[in-house]
Structure 1
Amino acid sequence: MKYMLLIYMDENALSETEREHCYVESAQVAQDLHTQGQFVASAPLHPVATATSVRVREGKSLVTDGPFAETREQLGGFFLINAQDLDEAIAIAARIPGARAGTVEIRPVLEIARLPAY
C-alpha cells in the first residue's frame, strides 16, 4: 500500500546549517527506502511565502498568495512510500528528520483506476 508522509514544521525551527543537515539525512533515508523497494518520491517544498492557493466558487477562480490556513506548522515536504501496513509506515516516518522538529502526518493513498501510474 502507498502512504503519503507529510512533513509539517515551523519554517524557522531549523538554522540554515541544521536545514542542510536535514536534507542530507532525508536523502539517505530516501536512498535506503529505494534500496528496499519502498521509495516512490520525496521532495522538500519552498517556503510558505511562495505558495499560491486556488479556490473555484460558482465557476470563478479565486487566486490568493499564501497557504489556505494560518498555522504554526507549515507543510515543508513529503515522502511517498510503499509500506506493508500502517505500522511499517509509522516506523519509516519516525526515521524522517523532520519528525524530530515537527510532525509527520501519515495518510494512506487512495488508488483510483485509470489514473496514470507513478
Structure 2
Amino acid sequence: MNQYLLSVYEADGSGPSTAAEIEAFMGRVIALEEEMDRAGVFVFGGALHGPDATTVVRGGAGQDLVTTDGPFVEVKEQIGGFYIIEAEDLDAALSWAAKVVQAIGHDIEVRPFRATGRVQADH
C-alpha cells in the first residue's frame, strides 16, 4: 500500500459558523472517518489551528535560528487540516479525496509520500 497526504485547504472564515452548521459538518466528518476506518485506509488525520497560531523557524546549518509569529507566506488559503491514508494507487486515493471534498466542502490536494528507506511502523 502507498501512503497519501490529503491536505484540506480553506480560506479564513470559510468554515461552518452556526451551531447547526457545525453539528452537521462534524456529523459528516465523523461518518467519513468511520468509513475510512472500516475500509482500512485511515492512518492519521487532524485539524489545525488558524494561521494566527503559526510560528515560523528560519535558519540553517551553521546559522542562528530565528522564530517569528505568523504564517510563512501570505496567501488567501491555508492548510486547515489533513488526512494520511493508505491506498493501492493514486486513483484510489483520489476516490477518498472526493469523499473528503463532499463531506467538508473544501478543496483537497492529494500528494503521495516518497519512499525514504525508513521502516514505517504498523498502526
Same-fold status (TM-score > 0.5): yes
The TM-score normalised by the length of structure 2 is 0.83
Per-residue CA deviations over 1:70-112 (Å, capped at 9, x if unaligned) read 11111100000011111111111111133x2x32110101232
Per the TM alignment, residue 21 of structure 1 is displaced from its structure 2 partner at its CA by 3.0
| Equivalent AA in structure 2 for residue 65 of structure 1 | D
Counterpart selection for 2:109 from 84, 102, 105: 105
Residue 83 in 1 paired to residue 84 in 2?
A: no
| Equivalent AA in structure 2 for residue 28 of structure 1 | A
Unaligned runs of 5+ in 2: none
Partner in structure 2 of residue 16 of structure 1: 17
Query: Residues of 2 paired with 1:19 and 1:48: CA distance?
Result: 20
Decide which structure has the larger Cα Rg and report it. Answer: 2
* CA gap 1:19/1:8 in 2 versus in 1, 3 angstroms: farther
Per the TM alignment, residue 22 of structure 1 is displaced from its structure 2 partner at its CA by 2.5
**Identical-residue share of aligned pairs (%):** 33
Give the 3-state SS of the residue equivalent to 1:106 in structure 2: strand
* CA gap 1:13/1:56 in 2 versus in 1, 3 angstroms: same
Number of aligned residue pairs: give it.
116
Per the TM alignment, residue 3 of structure 1 is displaced from its structure 2 partner at its CA by 0.2
The TM-score normalised by the length of structure 1 is 0.86
* CA gap 1:110/1:42 in 2 versus in 1, 3 angstroms: same
Residue 42 in 1 paired to residue 45 in 2?
A: yes
Counterpart selection for 2:57 from 44, 54, 57: 54
Asked if the contact 1:39–1:82 (Cα under 8 Å) also holds between the matched residues in 2, the reply is: yes
- Structure 1: 4+ residue segments shifted above 4 A: none
Per the TM alignment, residue 115 of structure 1 is displaced from its structure 2 partner at its CA by 5.3
Partner in structure 2 of residue 26 of structure 1: 29
| Equivalent AA in structure 1 for residue 113 of structure 2 | V
Query: Residues of 2 paired with 1:112 and 1:12: CA distance?
Result: 37
